[in-house]
Amino acid sequence: MEFQIAKEELIRALSRVQGIVEKRSTNPIIANVLLDVNEKGMQVSATDTEVSFVGNYQVECVRPGSLTLGARQLFDIARLVPTDQVRFSLPEGSAQMEISSGKAFFKVIGLSSKDFPSMPETSDGYSISMPSSSLKALVDKTLFAISSDDTRTGLNGAHIEVDKDNGSSHLRFVTTDGHRLAVCGQNFDAGDADLPDSVLLPKKGLAELRKLVEEGDGAWQVSFSQNQAVFQQDTVSFSMRLLEGEFPDYSQVLPGDWQRRVLVARETLVLALRRVSILASEKSHPVKFVIQDGSLTIQAKQPEAGEASEEIEAQVEGGDLEIGFNARYFLDVLSAMASDTVCIEIGDSLSPCLLKPGEGDDDELYVIMPMRLE
Amino acid sequence: MEFQIAKEELIRALSRVQGIVEKRSTNPIIANVLLDVNEKGMQVSATDTEVSFVGNYQVECVRPGSLTLGARQLFDIARLVPTDQVRFSLPEGSAQMEISSGKAFFKVIGLSSKDFPSMPETSDGYSISMPSSSLKALVDKTLFAISSDDTRTGLNGAHIEVDKDNGSSHLRFVTTDGHRLAVCGQNFDAGDADLPDSVLLPKKGLAELRKLVEEGDGAWQVSFSQNQAVFQQDTVSFSMRLLEGEFPDYSQVLPGDWQRRVLVARETLVLALRRVSILASEKSHPVKFVIQDGSLTIQAKQPEAGEASEEIEAQVEGGDLEIGFNARYFLDVLSAMASDTVCIEIGDSLSPCLLKPGEGDDDELYVIMPMRLE
């Protein structure tokens, strides 16, 4: 195995896999990347056995071959090599990759590519096409609400559903941790996606997917098999194993009729919440919303520290109300949104509160549970 | 007590003290800043009882008074208030400071200024004058080598000495952790400093001093009393309590005659060390220096990971030698230096190694102990 690669191309390949490889495993090979070189180029594979990545990169191949090498160490080398071109050479029968660049020389001990886990097959099943920006929105608007509580496996991922009832074809992500819920749908251009009964995408996979789709424009092919979701674009294939938990029937917690509706400028509410919550307890950040005709006043109070309050302009429909929230939950939702205004629909002081963009007709909504204040 | 202050002036005052106040103390008041307002302005004081700061800031005083408030909380408020001017008002007999800015309102519970620790007196003793840039160099070139080992109290600070023997007046900082030693001296313009027998400045105080002197130009007055070092400039007074440990007689570890001298480009050596040490063990970062006529070769090797080597050009005097170092110690020293070239003087493979700038005649040198390699 022998090849030459541009430093920038090598960095690009290796930076992509740093979040995927797993260093703290009993199986050391999954901390490695598999480099597979032939005349067509270099295929770089990485997996933690749940989330997997395969990408193709340009190299000048002298002699084909394959080996796995420590992903972190190779990335450190790639970033620091002194020349624009890096030469890799693996003597026949050896597992020691020789890497040279200018006067710098490395001999890195690898593990045989035969022991590397096999990558998930690309699904031949249903597949849809979706722009980067739509996939990015789906993840950005829902990732924060996924539960980190390992005892609630059904909440540890994003629930996916396809909605073709309303004339347009929608792929929808739903997430919740029991305190708040996020729902976001995006149109898809073409294709068909008869989903398996339950599709639950893991948090780590979605966080890596976000990095991938942030990189550029263009459409992604998304397909689902019984246990994998696969995202493909040009030279890259990214897949994640579906979680096995069962997502709850979230339609039951979506509030129906509202009794008060408040329309406020989103950024104004964000800043007021940040300021007032300085005086809220650090444990659950409790703040009180005082809703009156024409205004929303946010208040916080701690007996030993003091209090804060701020009134902001609001269009209010319905009667006066006081209701408590965890300020952090509200800020998470407001940060996921992009609209200028936000519409808050409330029943009474103990019922779930619905947030959605104040303008536009996006398939995007959030539910936040209120909290009892002293 | 009532006053108005510009948001920027308030942020400037409070950002300065965040590193000084101590939140994890049994005495809660030292997490606070003392605000003392009169017609001349606002004096802001902070202390952890070892390191103390007093600064004067411009306010529009309506009614004089004083109170201590949580430094962190007040800083959070200062950064987030919505208007350029912030109004503070403390009702007579109350400890609840009312802070208002636009529609944002805070009532923050303070602690009486009577319970705030008294600040060290400004010394009437010997005092010298020194430019910011010189103080900055003293700290930058020595701070890294201070020991963090609490059992070796004599090494937990920078040892200060005044040298008037060589015609010029020098203030010199010396630090060591037993593995490496840093010495830096700077001329002082005027004044006299007959130091107490032992002056040992604490690490936290020096780290805060570095931030202060980085802020601007101009001269600082530096004075020492039996238990305090005081740094003053314009509207600011900063002091630190001297440590009580005894600094060792470092002259005994300064190498005398060398047997090999190596002159290399500093940045070239830094980059080579960074690259080669990727393959050094993460525990003590052992690398081997192979010194030959005209070149220095750096090598690292781990049985399970592989090896690295890089040859760099060097002017070498004396015979060939192989010697081991902790690469991290070498990189710390090279990062503290600013010269284009560095001169390395070595006895044999077990004796301390001396580093100094390759050009110029600065009062600046470093000693690094070698390590035995397998």
Are B90 and B183 in a shared domain?
Answer: no
Are B69 and B43 in a shared domain?
Answer: yes
pLDDT in tens, B272-297: 999 999 999 999 999 999 999 999 99
**pLDDT for residue A297:** 98
Range of the domain at A60: 2-115
Chosen for mutation from B79, B86, B98, B105 (greatest number of chain A CBs closer than 10 Å) is B105
Asked if pLDDT for residue B145 goes beyond 80, the answer is yes
- For residue B149, give the CATH number of its domain: 3.10.150.10
**pLDDT for residue B266:** 98
- Asked whether residue A121 is assigned to any structural domain, the reply reads no
Domain boundary among the residues A115, A142, A177 is at A115
Give this complex's ipTM.
0.91
- Asked whether residue A61 is assigned to any structural domain, the reply reads yes
- Asked whether residue B321 is assigned to any structural domain, the reply reads yes
Asked if pLDDT for residue B165 goes beyond 80, the answer is no
Long-range pairs, B212-219, Cβ under 8 A, ≥24 = B212/B16, B212/B236, B212/B238, B213/B132, B213/B133, B213/B135, B213/B136, B213/B139, B214/B132, B214/B136, B216/B132, B217/B131, B217/B132, B217/B133, B218/B131, B218/B132, B219/B129, B219/B130, B219/B131, B219/B132, B219/B189
- Asked whether residue A120 is assigned to any structural domain, the reply reads no
CB atoms within 10 A of CB A217: 9
Number of H helices, E strands in chain A: 6, 27
Asked if pLDDT for residue B245 goes beyond 80, the answer is yes
- Asked whether residue B374 is assigned to any structural domain, the reply reads no
**pLDDT for residue A190:** 63
B285: which residues sit within 8 A by CB, 6+ positions away?
Answer: B277, B326, B327, B328
B269 touches B342 (CB < 8 A): yes
Chosen for mutation from A105, A298, A301, A311 (greatest number of chain B CBs closer than 10 Å) is A105
Q: Which helix (H) or strand (E) holds B266?
A: helix B266-276
- Asked whether residue B94 is assigned to any structural domain, the reply reads yes
**Measured between alpha carbons, how far is B25 from B31 in angstroms, rounded to an integer?**
8
pLDDT in tens, B328-373: 999 999 999 999 999 999 999 899 999 999 998 779 999 999 999 8
Task: Name the pLDDT band for B40 (thresholds 50, 70, 90).
Answer: very high
Strand partners, B161: B172
Are A100 and A147 in a shared domain?
Answer: no
Are A54 and A81 in a shared domain?
Answer: yes
A276 to chain B: which residues are within 8 Å by CB? 104
Are B132 and B245 in a shared domain?
Answer: yes
Are B226 and B131 in a shared domain?
Answer: yes
Are B100 and B165 in a shared domain?
Answer: no
For residue A10, the distance in angstroms to the closest alpha carbon of chain B comes to 16
* CB–CB contact A81 B275 (8 Å): yes
List residues of B whose CB lies inside 8 A of any A CB: 70, 73, 76-77, 80-82, 96, 103-109, 271-272, 274-276, 278-279, 304-312
Domain boundary among the residues B115, B141, B170 is at B115
pLDDT in tens, A208-221: 999 999 987 899 99
Asked if pLDDT for residue B219 goes beyond 80, the answer is yes
Give the mean pLDDT per block of 10 residues along chain A (374 residues): 98 96 92 97 97 97 98 98 98 96 98 94 75 95 95 93 74 95 88 74 96 89 90 94 93 91 98 98 96 97 96 96 97 97 95 94 92 86
For residue B272, the distance in angstroms to the closest alpha carbon of chain A comes to 8
Task: Tell me the longest C-alpha to C-alpha distance in chain B.
Answer: 80
Are A151 and A107 in a shared domain?
Answer: no
Closest Cα in chain B to A303: B109
Are A219 and A132 in a shared domain?
Answer: yes
Number of domains, chain A: 3
**pLDDT for residue B243:** 95
- Asked whether residue A339 is assigned to any structural domain, the reply reads yes
* CB–CB contact A278 B106 (8 Å): yes
DSSP class per residue in B210-263 = HHHHHS--SEEEEEE-SSEEEEEETTEEEEEEPP-S----GGGGS--S-SEEEE
Are B146 and B31 in a shared domain?
Answer: no
Are B352 and B271 in a shared domain?
Answer: yes
| B187 against B91, higher pLDDT | B91
The values of phi and psi at residue B277, to 5°, are: -75, -5
Domain boundary among the residues B250, B274, B291 is at B250
- Asked whether residue B19 is assigned to any structural domain, the reply reads yes
**Measured between alpha carbons, how far is B20 from A138 in angstroms, rounded to an integer?**
44
* CB–CB contact A278 B80 (8 Å): yes
Are B205 and B285 in a shared domain?
Answer: no
Asked if pLDDT for residue B124 goes beyond 70, the answer is no
Task: Name the pLDDT band for B190 (thresholds 50, 70, 90).
Answer: low
